Chains A and B, each alone.
Chain A
Amino acid sequence: MTDNQIVSISKFNKLKKSTSTKVKLVVQNVSVYYDDKKAVDSISMNINQNEVTSLIGPSGCGKSTFIRCLNRMNDVIENCIVEGKIFLDGQDVYDSKIDIVKLRSSIGMVFQKPNPFPKSIYDNIVYAPKLHGLVNSKDEENELVEKSLKEAGLFDEVKDRLQESGTSLSGGQQQRLCIARAIAVDPSVILMDEPCSSLDPVATAVIEELIDELKKKRTIIIVTHNMQQAARVSEKTAFFHLGKLIEFSDTEAIFTKPKQKQTLGYITGRYG
């Protein structure tokens, strides 16, 4: 990344800097082990509400493992041990009394590869609300499908073929369907694990616009390999390396005047 680019990004970020500073998620000394191997090493960070926080870093640095701790997706992985504490609105996420179903309806997730269920677009969206008992009638279902698709910016493209299979859509549309599916249960946080890595630049731009739109109501944490993307969409950026959180601050600061040598090396493309 050239210096010119960095300057232009920093200007861009200044314009959209958020005014709200309420803390949504508090992460305290979170470590993750696979068997004896430490994948994530005592990470602490605060994630602000209605902001986009991006996690960057070379492959295998523990970004995805870390993000999966936030909605306890690591629970199903055998031999995976999570230490430390994570608070969502002051509530301990790893409390033994917590209902994982409720937790995941507050923290939605979108994956690297678009993974719509091979069912109709309609069924993809109503699956989770039905699971949580949020809809009681066909009218409510229809309303929710329309609302979710509209929020994901997909409604106009698919309104005439809601009964077609979700897998018949293009890659970018599939990813937006997955976002629509996640927001159907109205989560306050959305985790995105490299949501654009399998999409072309046009589809990526659409998703990025959507992220800008979504953060008005929700908090977004996005893992990305694309530093321009991190610079474009996020207020805060965290740089991970070898399981450690090297640097975490305003996106502008990370890309213009990083405090750590490693961060500088990574964002200027010297390694990683």
Chain B
Amino acid sequence: MSNVITDELLSPISSKRVNKEKLFKLYGVVAIIFAISMLAFLLTTICYKGFSTFYETRIKLDVYFNEELIDPLGNRESKALNSADYSKVISHSLFTFLNIDKSHPKSKDISKLISYNSFLTARDHVLKNPDIIGKTKKLDFIASDDVDQMLKGNININVPEEDRKITDFQIEAIEKLKSNGNVLKVFNKTFFTKSDSREPEVSGILGAIVGSFYCLLVALFISVPLGVFSAIYLQEFAKKNKFTDFIEININNLAAVPSIVFGLLGLSVFINFFHLPRSSPIVGGLVLALMSLPTIVIVTRASLLAVPDTIRDGAMALGASKMQAIFNQVLPLATPGICTGVIISLARALGETAPLLMIGMIAFIPDTPTSILDPSTALPAQIFMWADHPERAFIERTSAAILILLSFLIVMNAAAIYIRYKFERKW
């Protein structure tokens, strides 16, 4: 008897079923491993490429503020001080240090070691304190992007001279500066305090971050009240008929409309019809608000639906009007869900590039916006533009900007998850 049972347990049908299940589990595990390794690959590449942006090369130099070059007339007129050729002042100090004559045929290469924008630093020193003229002062200058990239090991110096951006003569000079301890590696403050620039070594993401912040602020103030209140009306007050069904279907469809279409809408309505300033965060924010509206409406309705009817009945049986019941009892319970939805849809809006393309926010804007009406760019737009530049230093900055954007997104999503777990309520 027992033999028969054992035989049945070992029947080919049951072992086939067991194998099928094992195979299915295996597929699952393989798929997850594949997905995780892809993600890890992506993140490591971005980190590897972008991390070096967070420090920069500076060259320390004894600058001799030559009166002949700055103020040959000696009357210290601010106009003269403003327009003097400070690049020459710096170059000459560099030549002196390296023992090179200024008539040397390759002296121009040496001037290029230091960022072109460094003359501003020297000028500011003179304007602040004209007594410095005729004296020598130790100053830090941002090295040019080629020097920076070479020292970071991103330029291969073993290839023939004509195939690389840095000459043998420049390398020699850098080595000399380095051996004298005049080359510094410091935290890259420029990247966080400056806006876009043609010179990669002095370009930063402040303008893009401020632009994105203004866009999100506008989007938040427009989409949240509009979305939440229309959702409350549709879910709690509107009569269920063909017309509201039609609206509901359309809201669901709008959530799936490609974002570039919203950009086109923004261009034709906000810029061409209402004449709002092009490239401004107000238009960007309006477009992103329109884009997040359907999601916010859907999420809010779902959160309201999740609050059981017994709460509405309970409040109304106590004499609350429908509106009091909803605003006093139902809405507070739906708030965590609404917050989560709002944060996630705004995180999506933060990473959106396509609609910004249509309203001119993908543009070279070297100033940091000071209001929602100023021309501005946004983080993803900045990434898009830098990715287009051929310079090695911009490739590095592209990855660094992606890291910044990703960290903003991670923080926002983490906040959403935290709110969901903290205030989650089981019925």
Contact = CB atoms under 8 A, between A and B. Distances in A.
Chain B at the A interface: SS class: helix
Nearest to A102: B319
A131 B324 contact: yes
A117 B321 CA distance: 16
Nearest to B313: A111
A71 B322 CA distance: 14
Contacts of B308: 115
B317 A182 contact: yes
B225 interface: no
A124 to B, nearest CB: 9
B236 to A, nearest CB: 10
A5 to B, nearest CB: 33
A160 interface: no
A73 interface: yes
Given A78-B240, A131-B324, A117 B316 contact: no
B239 A78 contact: yes
A185 B313 contact: no
Nearest to A115: B310
Interface in A23-48: none
A253 interface: no
B329 interface: yes
B58 to A, nearest CB: 58
Contact of A73 (B311, B313, B425): B313
A118 B333 contact: yes
A76 B316 contact: yes
A118 B314 contact: no
Given A78-B239, A127-B328, A131-B324, A115 B319 contact: no
B314 A100 contact: no
A185 B316 contact: no
Contacts of A78: 239-240
Contacts of B317: 71, 73, 104, 108-109, 111, 182
Contacts of A257: none
Contacts of B328: 127
B276 interface: no
B132 to A, nearest CB: 68
A132 interface: yes
Nearest to A132: B319
B310 A185 contact: no
A178 interface: yes
Contacts of A158: none
B310 A131 contact: no
Interface string B302-338: 0000001011111111111110100011000100000
A185 B319 contact: yes
B425 A111 contact: no
A111 B319 contact: no
Nearest to B241: A78
A104 B314 contact: no
Contact of B318 (A76, A102, A118, A131): A131
A132 B314 CA distance: 15
Interface string B198-215: 000000000000000000
Given A78-B240, A115-B311, A128 B333 contact: no
Nearest to B322: A76
B64 to A, nearest CB: 75
B313 A182 contact: no
Interface in A81-125: 100-105, 108-109, 111, 113, 115-118
Given A78-B239, A78-B240, A113 B319 contact: no
A182 B240 CA distance: 31
Contacts of A131: 318-320, 324
A41 to B, nearest CB: 24
B336 to A, nearest CB: 12
A246 B186 CA distance: 91
A76 B239 CA distance: 11
B322 A182 contact: no
Among B240, B316, B324, B329, residue most surrounded by chain A Cβ atoms (within 10 Å): B316
Given A78-B239, A127-B328, A117 B314 contact: yes
B311 A111 contact: no
Contact of B425 (A115, A118, A127, A178): A118
A30 B314 CA distance: 24
A101 B319 contact: yes
A215 interface: no
Nearest to A167: B425
A113 B310 CA distance: 8
Given A78-B240, A118-B333, A118-B425, A104 B316 contact: yes
Contacts of A76: 312, 316, 322
A236 interface: no
Contacts of B318: 104-105, 108, 127-128, 131, 181-182, 185
Contact of B313 (A101, A115, A118, A181): A115
B124 to A, nearest CB: 60
21 contacts: A73-B313, A73-B316, A73-B317, A76-B316, A76-B322, A78-B240, A100-B321, A101-B320, A101-B321, A105-B318, A109-B313, A111-B313, A111-B317, A113-B310, A115-B314, A127-B315, A128-B319, A131-B318, A131-B320, A131-B324, A178-B314
Interface of B: 239-240, 308, 310-322, 324, 328-329, 333, 425
